[in-house]
Structure 1
Amino acid sequence: MSFKSKELLLISRPRFWMYVLGTFLVGMIASGNPFHYDSNTTMLLVVFSIFFSFPANLLIYGVNDIYDYETDVLNTKKVSYEKILSPLKHKKLWFIIGLFTLPFIPFLLFINTPTLYVLLIFIFTGICYSAPPLRAKSKPPLDILFSSIIYISPGLIGYLITGNTNVEWLAILGGLVWASAMQTYSAVPDIDADKNSGVATLATKLGKRNALWFCLIAYIAASVIGTLYVGWVAIVFGIVYAVVVLLSLANSSKVFKYYTYFPLVNIAAGTALFFYLFFKAVY
């Protein structure tokens, strides 16, 4: 069965593109003034900005759709908010994912070794989060570990690809903690479907309220770490995330509704962080 362009676009979840593209761009700008890089570095930044848009997201979410079919058919969120991928299209999607990934392989010859290692980690976690035999998403706490790496590693790639190796590992930890909260919050609306299909996640283990409390604590911890690097930006969005989680705790029946707003909150936070670092680097 063939795919239409619109169908592939929807599989890649455009509303989530900034989760990996955004962190890549934040990592890039955290490394320094982008106008001072040589032509080779600039070329690599452009190429991998393209990769972390449609191709990388098709990889992450396409593999997810292939191996989540049995869970998805039981999930009202998937039926109403997204789309279930027919098993008849699974093999063809693997081929298309490879087709969009292959053009970037020659550029691996031009990146430095640390960047290559982190990129391989991104691809490994992006596939093995959903795909067997590991299928980390069904083995807590590997689910939040792998998901956090998927969303934070592009930022490290953006940082390292410029040749900067002076990594602030506490900032990386803060990012991982933030991503663990994001992943757990997104899993809360899936709790019933995951339980019915026998899929274990941190959210199913903790239950709805405890999972939301975990999210609240993780967002606060990430915000505290963030203040060491970006000051008021971390405080403002730490409050925003805390309010969303507190509303979810107070109105548990509306968690899915709040979840649909989450991409906008994340994009706003990422944009504010990028421009804060941009003006800091340039001026």
Structure 2
Amino acid sequence: MPSSPAFLERTATILRASRPPGWCFGPILFGVGVIHSKVTPTTLPDLVGAAIQILTLSLPLCIIVFGLNDVYDYETDTRNPRKVDGEDIAVLPPVYHQGVQRAAWISSVVVMAASLGTRRIENILATSALVLLGWQYSAPPIRFKDIPILDSLSNGTIVFLSWLVGFSFGGESIFSTPPKGYMLLLCGAGLHALGAVMDADSDAAAGQRTIATYLGARRATIFATLT
């Protein structure tokens, strides 16, 4: 097994790019979804399956969502005062991009394998949509984060799909989603819009298009309030 400093450094960089504080978001949303479904896992196979899927929604999902973001945001990050001069997450050097992308592909396989293990089509569909959106939020050809308004809505949808994976774990139909699930989508979109308002000046300086740089701080705040 490789033990050189280069290997350890690359591994540490991938872990940092995955934003460890965010590892808990997916598992929490999964748990909330299970609670809302009112179908609690009780058998050993279901408990093991739930535990595995919870784990895949932590580090692996965060590598997809946050790691890829650092890769495809490189050009704008190098012009962003918040990234270059501030105390925020540092710019990810190109030498690490391939490693992060490879880790994202592996993570995608792991997340999907856990879903396929449930043998529940609703769960597989929800997980597939989550992985796909996790990629297309940052990566070409769509890159939702560069499309104002859709950047916030896609963020909210990632929150919703993480919840839906838990809701569908017990076999609940995705068509029986209660209103509280869609409220999570709107809350996620609103929180993203507020974050974009706070970062509007640095994002504008970097030439990055967000809901706040497109609509302006006031209208983006109104959007966040309404959602």
> How does the TM-score come out when normalised to structure 1?
0.70
Determine the structure 2 residue equivalent to 1:149. 157
Identify, as 1 or 2, the structure richer in helix: 1
Instruction: Report deviation, 1:105.
Output: 4.2
Contact 2:27 2:58 in 1 (8 A): yes
1:43 counterpart letter in structure 2: V
1:40 aligns to 2:49 (yes or no): no
Q: Where do 5+ consecutive residues of structure 1 fail to align?
A: 219-283
Determine the structure 1 residue equivalent to 2:3. none
Q: SS at the partner of 2:195? A: helix
Determine the structure 2 residue equivalent to 1:89. 96
Contact 2:80 2:206 in 1 (8 A): no
User: RMSD of aligned C-alpha atoms?
Assistant: 2.1
Determine the structure 1 residue equivalent to 2:141. 133
Contact 2:80 2:205 in 1 (8 A): no
Contact 2:56 2:110 in 1 (8 A): no
Instruction: Report deviation, 1:217.
Output: 3.0
Instruction: Report deviation, 1:98.
Output: 2.4
1:217 aligns to 2:223 (yes or no): no
Shifted more, 105-114 versus 127-136: the winner is: 105-114
Q: Which runs of 4+ in 1 moved over 6 A?
A: none
Whole-angstrom CA distance in 1 between matches of 2:118 and 2:180: 27
Change (3 A) 1:77 1:111: farther
Identity of aligned residues (%): 27
1:71 aligns to 2:76 (yes or no): yes
Instruction: Report deviation, 1:117.
Output: 0.9
Shifted more, 121-130 versus 187-196: the winner is: 187-196
Contact 2:82 2:202 in 1 (8 A): no
Determine the structure 1 residue equivalent to 2:20. 14
1:55 counterpart letter in structure 2: P
1:39 counterpart letter in structure 2: L
1:192 aligns to 2:213 (yes or no): no
After superposition, the C-alpha distances for 1:236-279 in whole angstroms (9 at most, x for unaligned) are: xxxxxxxxxxxxxxxxxxxxxxxxxxxxxxxxxxxxxxxxxxxx
Question: How many residues align structurally?
Answer: 217
1:96 counterpart letter in structure 2: A
